[in-house]
């Protein structure tokens, strides 16, 4: 088989697998094509792509079943306090949002205190974060749009928002494939930047640069899943802030106990799509991280 035919065959087999049926078609194709140049043959390509997709989808971060909790939310005309209690239960079922629970009451006040008034918010690779919208509504009436490449998160999040929060939605979309399609006033990239870098070195910087949003909020975990400090977060944060400075962008830190947050305000002249090359971005991040 020619390389293109081999790639398409692998894409078809992976998309037919039950484990990846909910993963966006663009994601599967992008991962297979990124891995193609490293593979010895079609079997090796499929092995590499499945391994990378396992990390991209990060199903291991979902630590509990949420279906019954979502049904409780959908079937109950609950008070605001009861709704928040159920939302906390849903958020506790995902490792990333569970970590944020101790800070949840102050998370959006701190974040939007730094960002300022906006009319629209894009939540990238949102997972279960749409269930924090009750807290978001404490500080802003901005339109909220979540984006995730995994239908396992898109469907419950969209169903929850559609019933209660006009102007809020969740879409099945891989933001790495079409970052310029995101044009909200502020884009949130919460504790997923390191996963993007794992998918493709330099992709985090390229995503921040090529998003159509003038403000991008990026956060990093303070600790790993084992509870140990996460030095990679400081390295990536240093690379991002150094990269922002090189473009004349403003980067402000927001202090929270459970995650490192930086608010990037881009210059008025947008970075041309494709002008941030993954290799250059990765080299820049590594150099800045080593210096930090």
How do the domains of the chain map onto residue ranges?
Answer: 3-57, 97-291
Q: Indicate whether 252 pLDDT > 70.
A: yes
Query: In the structure, what pLDDT confidence band is assigned to residue 172 with cuts at 50, 70 and 90?
Result: very high
Task: Tell me the CA distances in angstroms from 45 to 35, 40, 188, one per residue in order.
Answer: 7, 7, 32
Which of 17-26, 91-100, 122-131, 262-271 holds the top average pLDDT? Answer: 122-131
- Whole-number Å distance between alpha carbons of 90 and 85: 9
Query: In the structure, what pLDDT confidence band is assigned to residue 78 with cuts at 50, 70 and 90?
Result: low
- Whole-number Å distance between alpha carbons of 123 and 199: 19
Q: Looking at per-residue confidence, does 222 or 7 come out higher?
A: 7
**Per the structure block, which two tokens stand in for 117?**
């008034």
Query: How much helix, strand and coil, in percent to the nearest 5, is found in the chain?
Result: 55, 15, 30
Kindly state the percentage of the chain with pLDDT values over 70.
80
Query: In the structure, what pLDDT confidence band is assigned to residue 291 with cuts at 50, 70 and 90?
Result: very low
CATH class of 97-291: alpha beta
| Mean pLDDT along residues 83-106 | 89
DSSP code of 180?
Answer: G
Q: Indicate whether 112 pLDDT > 80.
A: yes
Give the tens place of pLDDT for each residue, 118-167.
999 999 999 999 999 999 999 999 999 999 999 888 988 998 898 789 88
Those residues with Cβ within 8 angstroms of residue 182's Cβ, 6 or more apart along the chain or in another chain: 122, 124, 147, 175, 211, 212, 213
DSSP code of 270?
Answer: P
At residue 76, the pLDDT reads 58
Those residues with Cβ within 8 angstroms of residue 208's Cβ, 6 or more apart along the chain or in another chain: 189, 216, 218, 240, 243, 264
How many of the other CB atoms lie within 10 Å of CB of 206? 23
At residue 3, the pLDDT reads 58
At residue 75, the pLDDT reads 58
Those residues with Cβ within 8 angstroms of residue 177's Cβ, 6 or more apart along the chain or in another chain: 26, 27, 30
Query: In the structure, what pLDDT confidence band is assigned to residue 288 with cuts at 50, 70 and 90?
Result: very low
Q: Are strands 250-255 and 143-148 parallel, antiparallel or unpaired?
A: unpaired
Q: Looking at per-residue confidence, does 68 or 240 come out higher?
A: 240
């Amino acid at each position: 088989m020619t390389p293109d035919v081999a790639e398409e065959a692998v894409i078809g087999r992976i998309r037919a697998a039950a484990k990846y049926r909910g993963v966006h078609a663009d994601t599967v194709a992008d991962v297979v094509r990124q891995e193609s140049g490293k593979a010895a043959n079609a079997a090796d390509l499929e092995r590499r792509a499945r391994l990378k997709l396992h990390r991209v989808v990060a199903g291991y971060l979902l630590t509990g079943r949420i279906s019954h909790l979502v049904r409780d939310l959908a079937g109950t005309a609950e008070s605001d306090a009861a709704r928040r209690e159920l939302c906390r239960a849903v958020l506790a079922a995902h490792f990333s949002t569970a970590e944020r629970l101790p800070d949840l009451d102050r998370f959006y006040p701190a974040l939007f205190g730094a960002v300022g008034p906006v009319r629209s918010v894009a939540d990238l690779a949102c997972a279960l974060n749409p269930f924090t919208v009750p807290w978001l509504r404490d500080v802003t009436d901005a339109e909220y749009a979540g984006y995730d490449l995994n239908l396992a998160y898109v469907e419950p999040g969209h169903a929850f928002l559609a019933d209660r929060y006009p102007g809020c939605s969740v879409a099945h979309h891989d933001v790495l494939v079409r970052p310029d399609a995101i044009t909200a006033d502020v884009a949130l990239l919460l504790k997923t930047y390191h996963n993007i870098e794992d998918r493709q070195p330099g992709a985090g910087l390229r995503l921040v640069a090529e998003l159509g949003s003038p403000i991008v909020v990026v956060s990093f975990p303070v600790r790993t899943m084992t509870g140990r400090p996460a030095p990679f977060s400081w390295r990536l944060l240093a690379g991002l802030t150094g990269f922002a400075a090189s473009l004349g962008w403003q980067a402000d830190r927001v202090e929270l106990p459970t995650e490192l947050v930086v608010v990037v305000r881009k210059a008025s002249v947008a970075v041309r799509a494709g002008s941030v090359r993954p290799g250059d971005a990765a080299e820049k991040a590594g150099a800045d991280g080593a210096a930090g």
